Amino acid sequence: MPKLTVVGRTGTAKEFEGSPGASIMENIRDNGFEDLVGVCGGNCSCGTCHIYVGEQFGDRLPPISDDEDCMLASSEYRTPESRLACQVEFSAKLDGLYVRLAPEE
Protein backbone atom coordinates (compact mmCIF):
# COMPACT_ATOMS: atom_id res chain seq x y z
CA MET A 1 0.00 0.00 0.00
CA PRO A 2 1.34 3.45 -0.88
CA LYS A 3 2.08 5.72 2.05
CA LEU A 4 1.60 9.37 2.71
CA THR A 5 2.77 11.69 5.45
CA VAL A 6 0.54 14.44 6.73
CA VAL A 7 1.53 17.32 8.98
CA GLY A 8 -1.43 18.67 10.92
CA ARG A 9 -2.03 22.24 12.07
CA THR A 10 -0.35 21.53 15.39
CA GLY A 11 2.80 20.45 13.56
CA THR A 12 2.38 16.78 14.33
CA ALA A 13 3.38 14.51 11.45
CA LYS A 14 1.82 11.13 10.82
CA GLU A 15 2.70 8.56 8.19
CA PHE A 16 0.09 6.03 7.19
CA GLU A 17 -0.87 3.69 4.36
CA GLY A 18 -3.28 5.45 2.06
CA SER A 19 -6.27 4.15 0.18
CA PRO A 20 -5.73 4.40 -3.58
CA GLY A 21 -8.84 5.59 -5.39
CA ALA A 22 -9.95 7.79 -2.50
CA SER A 23 -9.13 11.48 -2.50
CA ILE A 24 -6.29 12.84 -0.44
CA MET A 25 -8.96 14.64 1.62
CA GLU A 26 -10.70 11.35 2.43
CA ASN A 27 -7.37 9.72 3.27
CA ILE A 28 -6.45 12.53 5.65
CA ARG A 29 -9.88 12.78 7.27
CA ASP A 30 -10.14 9.02 7.75
CA ASN A 31 -6.76 8.79 9.45
CA GLY A 32 -7.33 10.93 12.48
CA PHE A 33 -6.90 14.50 11.24
CA GLU A 34 -10.13 16.00 12.50
CA ASP A 35 -8.86 19.52 11.77
CA LEU A 36 -9.34 18.84 8.07
CA VAL A 37 -13.05 19.54 7.95
CA GLY A 38 -14.06 18.97 4.33
CA VAL A 39 -17.34 20.81 4.84
CA CYS A 40 -18.62 20.36 1.28
CA GLY A 41 -17.81 16.67 1.18
CA GLY A 42 -15.38 16.98 -1.70
CA ASN A 43 -17.38 19.17 -4.07
CA CYS A 44 -14.73 21.87 -4.47
CA SER A 45 -16.94 24.49 -2.89
CA CYS A 46 -15.68 25.16 0.65
CA GLY A 47 -11.89 25.33 0.65
CA THR A 48 -11.59 23.65 4.06
CA CYS A 49 -9.39 20.88 2.64
CA HIS A 50 -6.60 23.26 1.65
CA ILE A 51 -3.19 21.56 1.82
CA TYR A 52 0.37 22.26 0.79
CA VAL A 53 2.00 19.55 -1.28
CA GLY A 54 5.75 19.00 -1.21
CA GLU A 55 7.13 20.60 -4.35
CA GLN A 56 8.84 17.36 -5.41
CA PHE A 57 5.37 15.88 -5.96
CA GLY A 58 3.93 18.73 -7.96
CA ASP A 59 4.51 17.13 -11.35
CA ARG A 60 2.79 13.90 -10.26
CA LEU A 61 -0.47 15.62 -9.45
CA PRO A 62 -3.28 16.31 -11.90
CA PRO A 63 -3.44 19.91 -13.09
CA ILE A 64 -5.53 22.38 -11.11
CA SER A 65 -8.99 22.77 -12.61
CA ASP A 66 -10.61 26.18 -13.08
CA ASP A 67 -12.96 25.47 -10.16
CA GLU A 68 -10.09 24.49 -7.83
CA ASP A 69 -8.07 27.50 -8.92
CA CYS A 70 -11.03 29.80 -8.29
CA MET A 71 -11.59 28.36 -4.80
CA LEU A 72 -7.90 28.62 -3.89
CA ALA A 73 -7.82 32.21 -5.15
CA SER A 74 -10.12 33.17 -2.29
CA SER A 75 -7.63 31.95 0.33
CA GLU A 76 -5.24 34.36 1.98
CA TYR A 77 -2.95 31.38 2.64
CA ARG A 78 -2.51 30.28 -0.97
CA THR A 79 1.04 29.45 -2.03
CA PRO A 80 2.48 27.77 -5.15
CA GLU A 81 2.20 24.46 -3.23
CA SER A 82 -1.52 24.85 -2.52
CA ARG A 83 -4.05 22.25 -3.57
CA LEU A 84 -7.51 21.22 -2.45
CA ALA A 85 -7.13 17.72 -1.05
CA CYS A 86 -10.57 16.69 -2.28
CA GLN A 87 -9.55 17.33 -5.89
CA VAL A 88 -6.59 14.95 -5.96
CA GLU A 89 -7.07 11.20 -6.02
CA PHE A 90 -4.49 9.25 -4.07
CA SER A 91 -2.74 6.53 -6.04
CA ALA A 92 0.32 4.31 -6.03
CA LYS A 93 2.25 6.86 -8.08
CA LEU A 94 1.93 9.23 -5.10
CA ASP A 95 3.63 6.78 -2.73
CA GLY A 96 5.61 8.80 -0.19
CA LEU A 97 3.48 11.93 -0.66
CA TYR A 98 4.13 14.65 1.92
CA VAL A 99 1.47 17.25 2.65
CA ARG A 100 0.78 19.90 5.29
CA LEU A 101 -2.63 21.23 6.24
CA ALA A 102 -2.96 24.93 5.44
CA PRO A 103 -3.97 27.28 8.27
CA GLU A 104 -7.66 27.56 8.97
CA GLU A 105 -9.27 30.57 7.26
Residue 37 CB, nearest distance to ligand FES (Å)? 8
Binds ligand FES (CB under 6 A): choice among 4, 24, 28, 49 = 49
How many residues of this chain bind ligand FES (CB under 6 A)? 14
Q: SS in 3 state form for 23-53?
A: EHHHHHHCCCCCCCCCCCCCCCCCCCCEEEE
For ligand FES, the nearest residue by Cβ is 86
Binds ligand FES (CB under 6 A): choice among 24, 26, 28, 38 = 38
Q: Is 48 in the site for ligand FES (CB under 6 A)?
A: yes
42 near 84, Cβ under 8 Å? Answer: no
Nearest to 20 by CA among 83, 87, 89: 89
1 vs 72, beta carbon nearer ligand FES:
72
Q: Is 61 in the site for ligand FES (CB under 6 A)?
A: no
Nearest to 55 by CA among 82, 81, 79, 78: 81
Residue 95 CB, nearest distance to ligand FES (Å)? 22
